[in-house]
């Protein structure tokens, strides 16, 4: 079913839709290396939450969403909304690897005049659907996209990646309520449940559990998965396509800073760039 629905896919490779697990893992390593390198070069940025979302973004761009790097505004593309906008480096890395802009441009992150700002800007960066900054707004934007597809009777789907920290915010739950009210079965929300936000662990700042039951109570179909396991990610995304009459929320349990030993589950690296020495160490680990 997915292959037929994705017949117009023109991604990073001719048969990209059918990439093996080994190839997806190799893509994930490249994305992690890009993230560490570009943030280190910029001297600022958010490595932790970018690294935690790598497998999710890889699965979406290489196996799931319909998109055309040569035609970013293709009307029938699936929409990917990065609500956790501070994780822009993972999106930039994926877009560059897919061919939306040169990979070399990643090294301009956060520089004056660059198309790659600290938070994604849809007016300047090819492939970006929503400008971000304040957290908690992405799900509302995604609801609007999904409603538009329903009104226009279009088959494209909307995917939105949220942080667990922004699930503290009322707007997120207002959007969740409206998505269920309108029966938006063409909408999938993925929560990057890495357990850490800006100033500490989510369990200490605002305990979210039982998070899955909360989404269910708001009328969503819920899947809880390992957010670093490609099989579980892809299986849940495929199941989401079969759900009728309600939106789907995927709670993806992840590790903040995944892949870099000294960043994993380290609150400090929510928004701190690695030093040149730390970049070198991280790249060795990611070789």
- pLDDT computed for residue 209 by the predictor: 96
pLDDT surpassing 90 at residue 20: no
The sign of the torsion formed by the CA atoms of 115, 119, 122, 123 equals: negative
- Hey, is 222 helix, strand or coil? strand
| Structural domains of the chain ordered from first start | 2-285 (3.40.50.970)
- Tokens 């055309």 locate to 68
E strand or H helix at 253, and its extent? strand 248-253
Tokens for 135, please give them. 């957290």
- Reported as a pLDDT band with limits 50, 70 and 90, residue 60 is very high
* pLDDT at residue 51, as a whole number: 98
- Residues contacting residue 5 through CB under 8 Å, at least 6 positions apart: 66, 155, 241
d(CA 31, CA 90): 7
pLDDT in tens, 27-41: 999 999 999 999 999
Residue 74 has a pLDDT of 97
User: What are the pLDDT digits (tens) for 165-199?
Assistant: 999 999 999 999 999 999 999 999 999 999 999 88
pLDDT of res. 134:
83
pLDDT at 7: 34
The whole-number pLDDT of residue 205 equals 93
């Amino acid at each position: 079913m997915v292959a037929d629905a994705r017949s117009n896919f023109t991604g990073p490779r001719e048969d990209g839709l059918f990439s093996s697990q080994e190839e997806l893992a190799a893509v994930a390593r490249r994305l992690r290396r890009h993230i560490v390198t570009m943030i280190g070069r910029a001297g600022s940025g958010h490595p932790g939450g970018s690294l935690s979302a790598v497998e999710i973004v890889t699965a979406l761009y290489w196996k799931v969403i319909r998109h055309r790097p040569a035609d970013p505004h293709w009307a029938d593309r699936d929409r990917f909304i990065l609500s956790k906008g501070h994780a822009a480096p993972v999106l930039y890395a994926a877009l560059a690897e897919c061919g939306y802009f040169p990979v070399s441009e990643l090294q301009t992150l956060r520089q004056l005049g660059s198309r790659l700002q600290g938070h994604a800007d849809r007016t300047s960066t090819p492939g970006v659907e929503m400008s971000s900054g304040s957290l908690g707004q992405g799900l509302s934007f995604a609801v609007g996209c999904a409603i538009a597809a329903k009104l226009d009777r279009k088959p494209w789907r909307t995917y939105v990646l949220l942080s667990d920290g922004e699930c503290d915010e009322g707007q997120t739950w207002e959007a969740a309520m409206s998505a269920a009210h309108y029966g938006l079965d063409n909408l999938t929300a993925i929560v990057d449940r890495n357990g850490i936000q800006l100033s500490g662990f989510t369990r200490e700042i605002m305990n979210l559990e039982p998070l899955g039951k909360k989404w269910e109570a708001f009328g969503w179909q819920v899947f809880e998965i390992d957010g670093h396991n490609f099989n579980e990610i892809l299986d849940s995304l495929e199941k989401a396509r079969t759900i009728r009459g309600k939106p789907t929320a995927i709670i993806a349990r992840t590790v903040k800073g995944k892949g870099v030993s000294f960043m994993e589950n380290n609150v400090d690296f929510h928004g701190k760039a690695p030093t040149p020495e730390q970049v070198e160490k991280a790249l060795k680990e990611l070789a």
